[in-house]
Amino acid sequence: MLGIESSCDDTAAAVVTSDGRVLGEAIAGQAAIHAPYGGVHPALASQAHAAAIDRVVADALSRAGLSQHDLSAVAVTVGPGLSLCLDVGVRKARAVSRAAALPLVPVHHMEAHTLVARLAGLAAHAASGGDGGGVLRDGEPAPAFPFLCLLVSGGHNLLVVVRGVGDYLQLGSTLDDALGEAYDKVARMLGLELNPHGGAALEAAARLGDASRYALSVPMQKHANCDFSFAGLKTGVRLCIESELPPEGDPGRQQAVADIAASFQSVATQHLCQRVRRGIGWARDSLQGGSSAGSGGSSNSSSSSSSSSDGGSGSGLDGSAAALRHLVVAGGVASNQYIRQQLAQVAEAAGLQLVVPPARWCTDNGVMVAWAGIERYRLGLYQPPLGPLQLAAGEEQEWVDLRPRWPLTAEKHGGSTPQV
């Protein structure tokens, strides 16, 4: 499977086999292009994708030692994301599909972030010679469905029960910023280097800081649900910077930056841990209640169980209560070591195994798209090879179906705990 990703500011491609071997990967980032704008500039991002896409796909194929005619199918992110950017990847995928008569698998970007955790487990299992019980480098097995997933990235902050491919129950989401976005903004406020992004820079600064020096409040203490909010915390950091941060050139400034970074990270992580702790209870309740509506009833990951192009093809639940065994943390922020450590404790206390993909598969990449494509392809969720390009009279270029706004799930947990 060739996977192509261009939803935001990384142009990426990879070739992955159905038994979890990554044959070739390539990525072109755009951090330097967007640094002066304080966020991703859509038109510049689209131009940069257009300039990079052919080379990135060619590099992934050549590193795999393959031509496009050796592929079985091509997967591409069709949403959510910036439409100008998605368009570049989808056109390239369609061109490859036409040239080599390959089926096309439309992929949801956040599903790709989620499912790559299963590839990580599989790859580790293979590396252990198959007798390690699916053991990953950090002792993590491939998570079977259902599992609980905390998705923390630049644009999303979701807590979901993953019941199968395309079958998600949302327990909570952010009321304002996603945590990755908050990391980027706080890093900017603290004057940290944003290349490739603020998250890693802030984590590095926090490592040298004292989280107890400045008191920031844990968000949403009065709301006993699984939603998130980072806007208030961000304001708390801004006020702290305004009142406490020594001016440029002051010898105490660097330590104060580190202390504020550590405090922000500690409080944001406490917020995550609190929500995840509650979410584990909600997830167990929902699985025990057999609330697997939309899972397609009896299903099996190797069967083609749905004709829906958007999913609804649960592959883990058979109607009986399925035990929750894994907590997956995915998305760019999941590469944060401190957050991993704290969530590992939450998982352990609840009797769950923590699974986090390797850092390079947490931020945007082609491998996750190829793998999500494989999971969907197995279930028959793909489009047949495209025929030769035929434009209608007056049409200058083909119409491409993108889904820039595409919720991961329509189904939301009703919540079981009143506000306190």
CB closer to ligand ATP out of 314 and 357: 357
Query: According to the binding rule CB under 6 A, does residue 376 interact with ligand ATP?
Result: no
156 binds, among Fe ion, ligand ATP, none (CB under 5 to 8 A by kind): ligand ATP
CB closer to Fe ion out of 305 and 335: 335
CA atoms within 13 Å, Cβ hemisphere of 178 = 18
- Among 103, 106, 332, 358, contact with ligand ATP (rule: CB under 6 A): 332
Please measure the distance between the N-terminal and C-terminal CA atoms of the chain and give it in whole angstroms: 49
Write down the least CB distance from residue 408 to Fe ion, Å.
12
From the CB of residue 134, how many other CB atoms can be counted at a distance below 10 Å?
Answer: 19
Q: How far apart are CA 362 and CA 270, in angstroms?
A: 21
Query: According to the binding rule CB under 6 A, does residue 372 interact with ligand ATP?
Result: no
- Among 6, 46, 342, 363, contact with ligand ATP (rule: CB under 6 A): 363
| Spatial CA neighbour of 76 closest among 64, 93, 59 | 93
Which tokens sit at 133?
Answer: 């019980």
CB closer to ligand ATP out of 95 and 339: 339
Query: According to the binding rule CB under 5 A, does residue 364 interact with Fe ion?
Result: yes
- Among 1, 200, 367, 372, contact with ligand ATP (rule: CB under 6 A): 200
| Spatial CA neighbour of 243 closest among 231, 233, 256, 230 | 256
Write down the least CB distance from residue 209 to Fe ion, Å.
27
CA atoms within 13 Å, Cβ hemisphere of 274 = 17
Which tokens sit at 97?
Answer: 């599909």
Residue appearing with tokens 């439309």? 106
Distances (CA, A) of 303 to 147, 298, 314, 371, 379: 20, 11, 11, 17, 6
In contact, 48 and 41? CB cutoff 8 Å: no
375 binds, among ligand ATP, Fe ion, none (CB under 5 to 8 A by kind): none
- Among 197, 271, 278, 326, contact with ligand ATP (rule: CB under 6 A): 197
In contact, 330 and 193? CB cutoff 8 Å: no
Q: How far apart are CA 144 and CA 133, in angstroms?
A: 13
| Spatial CA neighbour of 114 closest among 39, 71, 170 | 170
In contact, 402 and 90? CB cutoff 8 Å: yes
Query: According to the binding rule CB under 6 A, does residue 335 interact with ligand ATP?
Result: yes
- Among 90, 261, 333, 402, contact with ligand ATP (rule: CB under 6 A): 333
336 binds, among ligand ATP, Fe ion, none (CB under 5 to 8 A by kind): ligand ATP
CB closer to ligand ATP out of 29 and 134: 29
Query: According to the binding rule CB under 6 A, does residue 8 interact with ligand ATP?
Result: yes
Q: How many residues of this chain interact with ligand ATP, rule: CB under 6 A?
A: 25
Query: According to the binding rule CB under 6 A, does residue 154 interact with ligand ATP?
Result: yes
184 binds, among Fe ion, ligand ATP, none (CB under 5 to 8 A by kind): ligand ATP
Q: CA angle, 97 as apex, 72 and 13 as ends, to 5°?
A: 75
CB closer to Fe ion out of 179 and 352: 179
- Stretch in the footprint of ligand ATP (CB under 6 A) among 133-141, 234-242, 325-333, 383-391: 325-333
In contact, 14 and 107? CB cutoff 8 Å: no
Q: How far apart are CA 147 and CA 142, in angstroms?
A: 11
- Among 68, 153, 299, 409, contact with Fe ion (rule: CB under 5 A): 153
Q: Where are the alpha helices (DSSP H) in 193-322?
A: 198-207, 231-244, 253-288
180 binds, among Fe ion, ligand ATP, none (CB under 5 to 8 A by kind): ligand ATP
198 binds, among Fe ion, ligand ATP, none (CB under 5 to 8 A by kind): ligand ATP
For 35-126, strand residue ranges (E) read 74-79, 104-108
Would you give the binding string for ligand ATP spanning residues 107-126, x where CB under 6 A is met?
Answer: --x---x-------------
Q: CB neighbours of 340 closer than 8 A, spacing ≥ 6?
A: 329, 334, 354, 356
Query: According to the binding rule CB under 6 A, does residue 177 interact with ligand ATP?
Result: no
Amino acid at 68: Q
Write down the least CB distance from residue 247 to ligand ATP, Å.
26
Residues near ligand ATP (CB under 6 A)? 7-8, 81, 109, 113, 153-156, 180-181, 183-184, 197-200, 203, 331-333, 335-336, 363-364
Residues binding Fe ion (CB under 5 A)? 153, 364
